[in-house]
Amino acid sequence: MVDDLDATGACLMPDVVTMGETMAVVSGAGIGPLRHEASLRLGVAGAEATVAIGVRRLGISAAYVGRVGDDELGRAVLMRLRGEGVDVDAVRVDPSAPTGLMVKERRTSKVSRVRYYRTGSAGSRLAAADVPEGLVAGARVLHVTGITAALSDTARQAAKQGMILARSHGVLVSLDYNYRAALWPPERARTVLRDLTAYADVVFAGDDEARMVAGLGATAAPDEAARAIASLGPAQVVVKLGAAGALGLAGDELVRASAIPVDVLDPVGAGDAFAAGYLAALLGGEPIEQRLRCGCRLGAFAVASCGDWEGLPLVDELDLLDRADGDVLR
């Protein structure tokens, strides 16, 4: 339980609530086929968990809603999230389904490969009844992703239920499309994500995801896709452009931000780190230009270290990327 107290001693509700599936991760230390690794590293990962950890490290309280199995992998998930100060009281331990697993390998120095073992997992059994209205109602932001909507019918209903509850209580709804081709075909994803977009206040999308949901061709410009998505309802649309930075649309204001150049060690998790940075700046009252810059900064931290979230910064570390190579802090 997040134990921040107000002046009267009452427990404060988390500012950010995320909802989805967090999995155990096994990965090798070296580069090349995983079958040649003598030992594997155990970690945890999930889009919504990365966002929760990212904002928490920046001083914003966060809670995570989901399901894990009654197994060692599920206990690892809960231990890591608790260790990062994320409230996991709303996580349901499912005794009849396993915790999902992700297997990661660095196939070459520049290419990582990920495989998921999540069919029938506890996380895929998330249901609308698992969404705690009181927790959602007390938050400032609810963050969900298209991954949850793709896992199962019940998980999709849970995501939508959370968004509807949040809107009914005046809570800002954040939606990251996070399209995964291994989970569902683009035609199905487009239909569902367009439906969910109508309940969102902030939408995050990669360039290709934005065109897919907007129904535009491959040559459509990112700003065109952003405006098409905004026409579905959200007040803010952010298109992540990788090494080219990001584009944000808020009302009639269109802003671009450049990426921060870093040596890429692990590209997985960059988009979720970006969302964490953007949402943290949004909650801090920053204008859209600063939100985009903070998102790009956290995305750079993510790719400059191994793991989805392990390298994300604390508040006093945000300027580390501005220092010269070889700097030693003493």
Instruction: Please indicate whether residue 272 is annotated as part of the active site.
Output: yes
Q: What is the DSSP letter of 109?
A: S
Task: Calculate ∠ Cα 115-203-309, nearest 5°.
Answer: 45
Residue owning tokens 């392990």: 310
Residues 6+ apart with CB under 8 A from 238: 202, 203, 204, 205, 226, 246, 247, 248, 249, 278, 292, 295
Residues 6+ apart with CB under 8 A from 283: 15, 16, 55, 60, 140, 141
User: Taking a C-beta distance cutoff of 8 angstroms, is the pair 87, 65 a contact?
Assistant: no
For CA atoms 289, 295, 296, 298, the dihedral sign is: positive
User: Taking a C-beta distance cutoff of 8 angstroms, is the pair 19, 148 a contact?
Assistant: yes
Neighbours of 55 (CB within 10 A): 28
Helices (H), 198-287: 207-214, 222-230, 270-283
Neighbours of 149 (CB within 10 A): 27
Q: Tell me which of 87, 130, 201, 272 is the catalytic residue.
A: 272
The Cα 290–Cα 282 span in angstroms is: 9
Q: Which residue numbers are catalytic? A: 272
